[in-house]
Amino acid sequence: ALGGAGLLVPAAAGPAQAADLDPTTVPQFEQAMPVPEVLQPVCDLGLTSYYDMTLQEADAEILPGRLTRVRTFNGSFPGPVIQAVSGRRVVVRQTNQLSVPTSIHLHGGHVPQSSDGSPMDLIAPGGGSKIYTYPNHQPHANLWFHDHAHHQESETVYRGLTGFYLLTDHVEQNLNLPSGAYDVPIALRDARFDDSAQLVYEMGDFRKRQVLLANGKAWPYFEVAARKYRFRLFNTSNMRFYLLQLSDGSAFQQIGSDGGLLAKPLDVTSVFLAPGERADIVIDFSRYAAGTRLILSNAGGLLPGDPADQVGRVLQFRVTGPAEDTSSVPSTLRTLPALGSATVNRDFVLSMDETGKTMDAFINGKTYDMNRIDTEIEYGATEIWTVRNANVYTPHNFHIHLVQFRVLERDGKPVTSGPESGLKDTVTLKPGETVKLQATFTGYEGTYVYHCHMIDHAAMGMMGNFRVSKTATTGRSGPGRHRSP
């Protein structure tokens, strides 16, 4: 009864809406940024760790001194951290005590269809539960999990249903990167509140989401010792893009992206993060005197009329004092898997109605239909997908389930170095841009989705199904053959 038309019916108009909270009245840098809690397994048996989570509403102090109702994993906002190791299985039971159906997707995970948390594989509200099995047959990566119930995901993610899944392996463990208290995951997102401090959700109203949160607090501060820190940044915003910089303009290192470490660290002065993307960075605070205050600022995603002292600031670092630091960032971080040679090419065009007359969004002219397979892929095939944003004003991004891909080209220019040269599962497309991606579809047969990760656009239909099977015929078409999607 869950997957039916009922989900498509917009909520009835509620009582007259309260006025918006003026974001300029929210104090900045008053609350400490918490470090997300690591979830402990209920048991470890052989090569498997078992976890239990309850999807439930909770009240979170996002704005200083005020409580906001949110949707959470186990009451934490943002969700907890699962620490996983390649080769060790993780099994999670999710029990849905919310009033809406959910589906929990492990973003960036290489998992069987039955555990992918696909849009059509729902956990019933009011106590339904589902067991997700994550084999972790993939290298280290900064993954995250979030709701994916079709047409609900945008609102449920916005209301808080996201968590961290840090997958490590020997390659990463053998490096001497900052660790323990000096390795901090940070979920970044925006929000809009009413004057009773409750979240306001309206699909596509991203311009009004002008309060920026880091680990669930509005404009927090974070105390750091004068040494190196590793920050794993997750953009869990529905729609917001960030171009993150230090307020003194100084350099830091980017060591990783969606699918784990880059081949080599990059010296950068900014990192760009589209919704769903991750960046792994190392900042060396040893160059600052105790007492220094430094802002992690956001030079991206500022639309005309956006106040830079709101959406232009993310969090404040407060340098406390010196601390020992034996960590180091080596000049080589990993060897990326070799690119196979592709046998199939496909084209994908992302577009949406920019007149504002409808809320429809398309891939190759079609809105998502959970009963339609858009792309048939032969198991084991290596494919090149050319993805184009046909819109003039609207950015999009493109996320593929099941695989980590490589970005071969952006607007015809080869991508051989830089932040997009590692393993990726989500890629940005500014208006008019085209990217070429390469992926190998192996490991599991089954039906998965690709979609825009501006998640409001996915909810509007910018999503398609692909099916990987040993009986698909696309692989027989020979090298370089162009297939319809």
Task: Out of 151, 396, 424, 451, name the contact with ligand C2O by CB under 6 A.
Answer: 451
CA distances from 212 to 71, 224, 236, 248, 368 (A): 18, 20, 11, 20, 30
Name the residue with the smallest CB distance to ligand C2O: 107
At closest approach, how far in Å is the CB of 458 from ligand C2O? 7
The torsion angles phi and psi of 447, rounded to 5 degrees, stand at -110, 130
Q: Is 401 in the site for ligand C2O (CB under 6 A)?
A: yes
The torsion angles phi and psi of 153, rounded to 5 degrees, stand at -60, -40
Cα(21)–Cα(62) distance, rounded to whole angstroms? Answer: 13
Q: In this chain, which stretch among 39-47, 222-230, 400-408, 449-457 interacts with Cu ion, using CB under 5 A?
A: 449-457
Closest CA to 344 of 372, 376, 389, 390: 376
Asked whether 20 and 200 are in contact (CB, 8 A), the reply is yes
Token couple for 314: 């993310």
334, interface contact from ligand C2O, Cu ion, none, CB < 5-8 Å by kind: none
Closest CB to ligand C2O among residues 278, 410: 278
Cα 336-169-385 angle, rounded to 5 deg: 40
396, interface contact from Cu ion, ligand C2O, none, CB < 5-8 Å by kind: Cu ion
Binding map of ligand C2O across residues 340-379, x = CB under 6 A, - = no contact: ----------------------------------------
Q: Is 107 in the site for ligand C2O (CB under 6 A)?
A: yes
399, interface contact from ligand C2O, Cu ion, none, CB < 5-8 Å by kind: ligand C2O
Query: What is the size of the binding site for ligand C2O (CB under 6 A)?
Result: 10
Q: In this chain, which stretch among 17-25, 128-136, 318-326, 445-453 interacts with ligand C2O, using CB under 6 A?
A: 445-453
Q: In this chain, which stretch among 223-231, 323-331, 407-415, 449-457 interacts with ligand C2O, using CB under 6 A?
A: 449-457
Segment 362-421, which members bind Cu ion (CB under 5 A)? 396
At closest approach, how far in Å is the CB of 317 from ligand C2O? 28
Query: What is the size of the binding site for Cu ion (CB under 5 A)?
Result: 4
Task: Out of 192, 313, 399, 406, name the contact with ligand C2O by CB under 6 A.
Answer: 399
Cα 213-219-224 angle, rounded to 5 deg: 105
Q: In this chain, which stretch among 121-129, 220-228, 428-436, 457-465 interacts with Cu ion, using CB under 5 A?
A: 457-465
Cα 479 → chain centroid = 33
Closest CA to 182 of 318, 331, 283, 77: 283
Asked whether 255 and 261 are in contact (CB, 8 A), the reply is yes
451, interface contact from Cu ion, ligand C2O, none, CB < 5-8 Å by kind: ligand C2O
The torsion angles phi and psi of 263, rounded to 5 degrees, stand at -65, -40
Q: Over the Cα atoms of the chain, what is R_g?
A: 21
Segment 248-277, which members bind ligand C2O (CB under 6 A)? 276
For residue 47, give the amino acid letter: L
Cα(353)–Cα(229) distance, rounded to whole angstroms? Answer: 43
Task: Out of 39, 96, 98, 105, name the contact with ligand C2O by CB under 6 A.
Answer: 105
Q: DSSP letter string over 248-271? A: T---EEEEEETTEEEEEEEEES-E
59 burial via Cβ count (<10 Å: 0-12, 13-18, 19+): middle
Closest CB to Cu ion among residues 253, 391: 391
Q: Is 457 in the site for Cu ion (CB under 5 A)?
A: yes
Closest CA to 239 of 455, 390, 70: 455
Q: Is the dihedral of CA 67, 69, 74, 77 positive or negative?
A: negative
Closest CB to ligand C2O among residues 21, 452: 452
Closest CB to Cu ion among residues 387, 452: 452
Q: Is 189 in the site for ligand C2O (CB under 6 A)?
A: no
148, interface contact from Cu ion, ligand C2O, none, CB < 5-8 Å by kind: ligand C2O
At closest approach, how far in Å is the CB of 432 from Cu ion? 14
Token couple for 132: 């997700």
For residue 77, give the amino acid letter: F
401, interface contact from Cu ion, ligand C2O, none, CB < 5-8 Å by kind: ligand C2O
The end-to-end CA distance of the chain, in Å, is: 31
Q: Is 150 in the site for ligand C2O (CB under 6 A)?
A: no
Q: In this chain, which stretch among 41-49, 150-158, 211-219, 455-463 interacts with Cu ion, using CB under 5 A?
A: 455-463
Q: Which residues of 213-225 are buried (b: 16+ CB within 10 A; e: fewer)?
A: bbbbbbbbbbebb
Asked whether 464 and 119 are in contact (CB, 8 A), the reply is no
Q: Is 146 in the site for ligand C2O (CB under 6 A)?
A: yes
Closest CB to ligand C2O among residues 424, 453: 453
Residues that bind Cu ion (CB under 5 A): 396, 452, 454, 457
Residues that bind ligand C2O (CB under 6 A): 105, 107, 146, 148, 276, 399, 401, 449, 451, 453
